[in-house]
Structures are given as structure tokens and as C-alpha cells.
Amino acid sequence: MPAALPLVLAGPTLRHCDQDNFTLWFVCSAPMNQLTLHLNEENLILESEQLHEIRLGEHAWQYLIQVEQKDFLCVDSAIGYELTDSQHGALFSNIRHLNYQDKQTPEFVIKPQIDNMLHGSCRNPHHHSGDALVAADTRLSQDLSIEARPSLLMLSGDQVYVDDIAGPMLYAIGQVIQLLGLPQEQFSDAALAGSSAISYHPAALYQRHKNLLPRTQYQAKTAFRRWYINHPIFTSSLAENHLISLGEIMALYLLTWSPELWEQIDIPKEVDGLSAVNKLRWNKEWLHLLEFKAGLHQVRRLMAHLPTYMIFDDHDVTDDWNLTAKWEEAAYGHPFSKRIIGNALIGYALFQGLGNAPQKFKAEITPLIDDYFSKPDEEKQDSLIDELLKFDHWHYTLNTSPKLVVLDTRTHRWRSESNLVKPSGLMDWEALMEFQHELVGQSNVIIVSAAPMFGVKLIETVQRTATMLGGSLLVDAENWMAHPGTANTLLSIFQHRKTPEQFVILSGDVHYSFAYDIRIRFRKAGPKIYQITCSGLKNQFPEKLIPIFDKLNGWLYGHFSPLNFLTKRKRMSIRGRRPGGARSKRLMNQSGIGLLNLAKNGAPTKIAVLHADMSETHFDAPRKD
């Protein structure tokens, strides 16, 4: 092991924690011997079934501690935790800036009654906006009382951007692969024989979309025909440094959450081998990454103190992931593109999925992961990818009040039957029926959907128009109303008389924030629905476009507009909340993290966004008719 490497490379991060479960994730540069978990005054020597160890590379071991016992943890009281190893001693005591105030260990609180929580999505390290997770940590440090503490942190998509990597970040990824000895792999039907041939020299940056990423070969009879012939399968407009190998994916996750690794690498500000345009781009990205890594100590501290849950959206794997059946046909029919997608799914499972609901993976996925990492080879890797692509338990629920239901809107698609180029529904009929089953017997519920269930109608209309012209991939035409089967089934669920009386829907994806109050027209009784969208944590919509969309949407599809009766959601009355009390504004385009306070009956008492500069935007309830 290189002498400079710290023992703990990433984490500790609290994952699924409730009265019956304690889940903790971290990565070390050396293997552990015998671990003991300390919770306040209690000590628990961990057994093999409570400790999942994976050797990610020569100098990287991932650990997922998962203790499941009935009434294991006290509720509504602070619980300090530490891990000690028989060889290395206390693991977290020497981590700088890990604890709040004068605390000796990190602490967490189990709050089964969700009275307030944090939520957000879309954290792009090289975006120019501030990191809202840093602001959330600062906010928590100011009041550690049980009452003020959020019940949980919900990250609702795009925790990483596999398809949008800055040049300096890709350079750093190459260094981390070497530093930690992350595994190499062989490729099929690719321009390179394997990952060891990938160059991280600056001259090779911003070129992958031209030289390395696979292209489609099928034809489509549309007005945008050129977009479907020999067009990149990975359609992101920022795919110049799209990640490819599993080693790259793992390095990205560690750099996204680990302040220590950034201290082990050196990224030059000035590099040779780039064009004049890309030199300017490099300099901007270098500066934004410098700001990003400066906040990572606080981000780690936040995630060490709050139970943290995650679900994927597109950029966790690739832009337009499963957007259309035709895209799936091209992507999974090509060995190299299938490997790229599969590597991203392995990364998601390792760094995100396993911690949400570890028991869901133990029978099918965990043994394959263990087998692959015990001695990596291409056959094992392909087998693991095949199983991950078939796996259908990425979604999960939390035993909280209100019940929290987290949806997988990426792998249960309702494919278009009329035209394979049309957008697939975000969930198919079977998945929607399973979703409805989760709602039975609940008086109120919190739903996490990566994309808003009730979005900005003008933008959805633009996406629908582009789809009619054959350009669904050009405008990321994925919304709940884009597919008739999904849209009608979803709306029927909300209108069913046996569903909950109150829905809170938390979403991200769109890079702006808004909140709607929704009721069923022409019905005195019926559910109250709140669509709350917060996006992004470190990302924003193009500044010049959002005011135009906001104003036009208000004119064309405002609450009193008759055009609403021509849409699929015509039976719904949708009222936009006013950010900061603005008279006509409904969309907030500033990076931030969602603050949600709930009454005991599950109704929102506060809907707000905390921005990176510590300012808050409150979404005021709409005026009464």
C-alpha cells in the first residue's frame, strides 16, 4: 500500500437505519481483521453475515455493515457510533472534520415519524453553482437538537454524472485507478482491446464521443432520420468524456464523496495537448472542481449523521437510459455499449443500491458481486451484468410515518407498442399495480419519483412535439404523461377511492424547483396531492430559458386556462406555489436542497429550498379561488 494513503478512503456514510436496522458504508485502503461496532455504551462484535467486504482494488476494500435485529435501536434519541478493528483500532477517530461541535463520535437519530427531511437530486461536480449538500451540513451544525434534526436525506437521482465528466475529473479518475490498483478489463467490439489501453493524457480528453463510444446502425423513418443512423448510442450532448470501464466508475464515486483522495492526486491547472476551446473549458472545470472538493469534508459529515437513501435516474448510468425501446435495442444489442451500461449498474449497486435495502440483493446479486471481485474476469463480469439488467427490485419502501415509497422509473418501462422510437412509459402496468398495492391501507404517503409526476405542461408539450417529429432523444422526452398507458394508469391510481387521502410526491431530474397543490376536479372529497420538485443539488437549468418557459407556461396552462381540459390530467386541478411570494413566478432556477416539514397527519407545513449561499426560498401556498 502506498505510504501516503489514509486508512479510511471514503465514508462513513449512514444508509438504511430504523428501529430494526443499522447500515453503514465505508471504504478502506487496507483490509479489516475483527470489527466491533460501538453504539453509545453497547459493543457488538460483528459476525460474517453482518459484514459485507468487497476488495475493489489492490488498495481499496469496501465494507457494508448491516445489523438487523428487532427493536435494535432506540428512537428519538442521539446514538453515537464508532467502529474499532483488532488491528487498526478506532477507524473514525482520526478523520478530520467528521464530528459536530465537541462530539467525540458521529451521531444519528432514528425518527420513524417524519416531521422534517432533506431531499434533492442532480449533483454535478463541475457545474458552476454551489453544492447544496454543504449548505445542508452547515444548517445541521447550527442546531443538533432532536426536534430540528431531519429524519433522513433522500437523494432522488443523478448522484453521479457518468455521462458528463469534466476533463480534470477524468484526469483525476485515471490517477485514482493507478493509486488504488482498481481492476482492468477487456472489451469486445470496441476501438480499444481493454481498459488498460485508455489514455488519460490531456490530448486524449474530450474525444471519446468521436473515437471510442459505439454508434447505432439501424434506420428510422422520421424527419430526424440522421439522428438514428450511425448516431452515438450514448446521446448526451456532453459525452466527450463518458466513462467506460468499471474502474473509472468506482473512481468517480470515490472522488464524489471522498475528500482524502483529492489530497492524494495532483491536477495541473495548465496542460498541453488541448485545443484553444478545450483549454478554456479545462480551466473553468478545474476551478469548479477546486470549489467542489473544498466542500467534501462537510458533505461526508452530513452523510455520516443522517440516514441516507438513494435511487437512480438517467445520469447515474447514461443519458436517455431506456428512454425508448429503439434505444434499448441498439444499446443492449452491442457488446461494448452493454458493457458500459452494465459497468455503471455495477457501480450503482456497490455504492448506492446495496445500502438502501441490503436484504433485497443477498439472494441474487451479492453472491455474483462477491464472485466477480474475488478474481475479476470478463465472463464473471458479463454474468453479473446480465443479472443486474434482469434484476427488478431496485425500488423499496421505508417503514416510516408517512410510509415512504421509492420508485424505480428506469428498469420497469412500459414500451411503446405503436412506435419503438416513441418514449417508453416510466413504469409498466405490473409495476404500477405493485405501486398501488403499497398504497393500500395508508392514510398518507410520501412517494419518491425521479421525474415529476406532474410537471411543467409547456415543457411536456415541447417534448411531445419533438416526439411526433421523431426527436424524442433530442429533448429527453421522458415524463409521466408521455406514454398513454402509464399516464392513464397513474391518474387512475390517484383517483381511486381506496388510495390514501394525502400524497406528497418528491422529485428531481429537471434542474429547477417548483411545488404544486393538486386536487381532483368536481369532487368534494378526494386526495390532496403535493408535487414537490427540487433540482439540482449542484446544477441548474439554462438561465435564459427558464424565465421564458415559466411565463409561457403560466399564460398557456395556468390554473384557469381552458387548455388544461385538453390534457391527460384534465380531471386534476393544479395550482402552482409561489417561490418567495412572487406574484407570477412558479419555477425557481437556483441550486439547492429541499426542506420539507410535515404535520403529524402528513400534510406539508413547510416547502422550501435551501441554497448554497444559505438563503432559503419558501414556496407559498396558492391563493384561494
Which string of DSSP letters, residue by residue, matches 404-465? EEE---SSS-B--SS-TTSBPBSS-HHHHHHHHHHHTT-SEEEEE-SS-SS--HHHHHHHHH
Are 461 and 556 contained in the same domain?
Answer: yes
Query: Does the residue 33 lie in any domain?
Result: yes
Q: Which domain holds residue 92?
A: 8-109
Cis peptide before 536 (omega within 30 of 0): yes
Are 96 and 19 contained in the same domain?
Answer: yes
Q: Report the alpha-carbon distance of residue 555 to residue 559 in Å, rounded.
A: 9
Using CB atoms within 10 Å of the CB of residue 484, give its burial: 0 to 12 exposed, 13 to 18 middle, 19+ buried.
middle
Mean pLDDT by 10 residues, the chain (625 residues): 81 97 97 96 93 97 96 95 96 94 94 97 97 98 96 97 96 96 94 94 89 71 49 74 97 96 92 92 96 97 98 94 90 94 98 96 95 95 97 96 97 85 89 94 95 82 63 63 85 85 95 93 81 96 86 74 71 88 89 97 96 96 76
Query: Does the residue 121 lie in any domain?
Result: yes
Are 594 and 483 contained in the same domain?
Answer: yes
Among 43, 75, 109, residue at a domain's last position: 109
pLDDT value for 223? 47
Are 55 and 120 contained in the same domain?
Answer: no
Closest CA to 118 of 592, 487, 498, 615: 592
Among 109, 136, 166, residue at a domain's last position: 109
Closest CA to 88 of 67, 63, 71, 113: 63
Q: Report the DSSP beta bridge partners of residue 194.
A: 186
Alpha carbon 233 to chain centroid, angstroms: 22
Could you tell me the three cell numbers for 142?
A: 447550527
Are 454 and 513 contained in the same domain?
Answer: yes
Q: Report the alpha-carbon distance of residue 424 to residue 473 in Å, rounded.
A: 11
Closest CA to 478 of 500, 496, 505, 451: 451
How many other CB atoms are there within 10 angstroms of residue 486's CB atom?
25
Are 410 and 480 contained in the same domain?
Answer: yes
- At position 200, the amino acid (one-letter code) is Y
What is the Cα Rg of the chain in Å? 24
Are 498 and 526 contained in the same domain?
Answer: yes
Cis peptide before 12 (omega within 30 of 0): yes
Are 99 and 18 contained in the same domain?
Answer: yes
Are 48 and 92 contained in the same domain?
Answer: yes
Query: Does the residue 594 lie in any domain?
Result: yes
Are 59 and 121 contained in the same domain?
Answer: no
- Helix, strand, or coil (residue 533): strand
Query: Does the residue 467 lie in any domain?
Result: yes
Query: Does the residue 560 lie in any domain?
Result: yes
Query: Does the residue 185 lie in any domain?
Result: no
User: Between helices 325-332 and 335-348, what is the axis angle to 10°?
Assistant: 100
Among 109, 144, 169, residue at a domain's last position: 109
Are 33 and 120 contained in the same domain?
Answer: no
Count of structural domains, the chain? 2
Query: Does the residue 335 lie in any domain?
Result: no
For residue 41, the domain's CATH number is 2.60.40
Sequence-distant (≥ 6) Cβ neighbours of residue 194 within 8 angstroms: 184, 185, 186, 187
Query: Does the residue 88 lie in any domain?
Result: yes
Are 48 and 90 contained in the same domain?
Answer: yes
- At position 458, the amino acid (one-letter code) is L
Closest CA to 540 of 609, 491, 493: 609
Cis peptide before 112 (omega within 30 of 0): no
pLDDT value for 203? 85
